[in-house]
Amino acid sequence: MNGKWNGKLQSVGGGGYAGSTTVPTDAILSGYVGVSTDTGHTGNDGSFGMLAPGRPNTALQIDFAYRSEHLMSVIGRQLIQAFYGKPPAYAYWNGCSTGGRQGLMMAQRFPEDYNGILAGAPAIHWDRFQAAQIWPQVVMLRDNAGVISSEKLALATNAAVNACDAADGVADKVIDDPRACRFNARTLRCQNGSQGGSCLTESEASAINKMWEGPVVGGTRLWWGPRPGAALSSLAGQTPFLIAVAQPRYWVYYDQAWDWKMLDYSNYKEFFDLTVKRVGPVIATDDPDLSRFKSHGGKLILWHGWADPLIMPDGSIDYYDAVTRKMGGGYAQTQTFVRLFMAPGVAHCRGGDGPMPQGLFDAVVNWVEHSEAPSTIMASRPLPGGTTRRRPLCPYPQVAVWKGSGSTDDAANFVCKGSP
């Protein structure tokens, strides 16, 4: 932008427990006044949530949940007014993961702070999905008496992709909608005394099936699991995912010595319910009433990778459906101000085997400033030999379907199908 301010504010969200700040370089280079926040604490281990054993640090929890993000907008505007002598013409939020949750919290609690919000892989349902993040460790311990090797986890993931890839009519090593994948890890069971990394024991197969299913106790689904096609080693690694242990210790039990190995099928629901009770009111970020954000003229783009190994993508769909029910008028009405794009094969905010969404933030800006709602989002992935795979992402619940002729690497050969 040749060093010139474009007249706008862009707040950039954080990741994890967001206990640090970085210069929002991309925003600044694009001409925005860019701002970010450490959300009121230092460090990313979640310990700030506990004031002392048995006592929550309510003030810092609220800072992290929503107060700091709102004040970032307030102070950002004040600084712009003081330096440039006028307020920003538009204000935007740009974030993924925790940053996606933060953006949605602004739409829910402070709907006039931002004209447009981009929320990727949003860490909403913070209480529930983080409780579910320890589930893979629980099922490995209880079904398999220990961890499953990364080699065998990858074996199961690759087998699921091979089995379900072509269901959409295109074989590209990506499951377009893993909800339709019914692959059973037991098909990989070792036969006739064989062993090693090329097959699974009965206990390993049982644990992996339960990982995909997510926490279901006594026939009741508590939350979702990572979908087939997502790397299982992120949550089912040699050690638990850091946040999956930090939340119970510092936000639920207020006990640094809490040990996840005390969880089993008899007490997991109690643990889950207590997590929802103590964490949900502060930071769940799942209020579907976006009427004030809509009335303000706000526009919101949500997106989530179907192969996200950390934040279960079904949570974003659940939230979008909840907004649609709350606001009324079906998906067509919701899409007048909120659109959700699901990205097949994309991992957590980036990576994976699927084409990566492009121009998402620009789509928000264009929607706000020119009233042009994105009918598709282009996704692309470099291929060996210097070519590029391009696919359209359609507004949920529509999906991109190959027309049946032409290169499957050319977005022009796909069309959005399904009810808007």
Which candidate in 41, 125, 304, 348 is catalytic?
348
Instruction: Collect contacts of 330-333 with beta carbons under 8 A, ≥24 apart.
Output: 331/396, 331/397, 331/419, 331/420, 332/420
Distance between first and last Cα of the chain:
37
- Tell me how far CA of residue 263 lies from CA of 233, 305, 345, in angstroms: 20, 29, 31
Burial letters 339-371, b for 16+ CB under 10 A, else e: bbbbbbbbbbbeebbbbbbeebbebbbbbbeee
**Beta carbons within 10 angstroms of residue 156's beta carbon:** 24
Residue 308 bears catalytic tag: yes
Token couple for 417: 């199908």
H or E stretch covering 78: helix 68-84
Which candidate in 308, 314, 316, 318 is catalytic?
308
Q: Which residue has the tokens 């009965």?
A: 202
Residue 405 bears catalytic tag: no
CA–CA separation, 45 and 39 (whole Å): 13
Residue among 281, 247, 272 at smallest CA distance from 48: 247
Q: Crossing angle of helices 202-213/150-164, nearest 10°?
A: 60
Residue 348 bears catalytic tag: yes
Contact 260, 147 (CB under 8 A): no
Which candidate in 11, 97, 233, 316 is catalytic?
97
Q: Which residues participate in catalysis according to the annotation?
A: 97, 308, 348
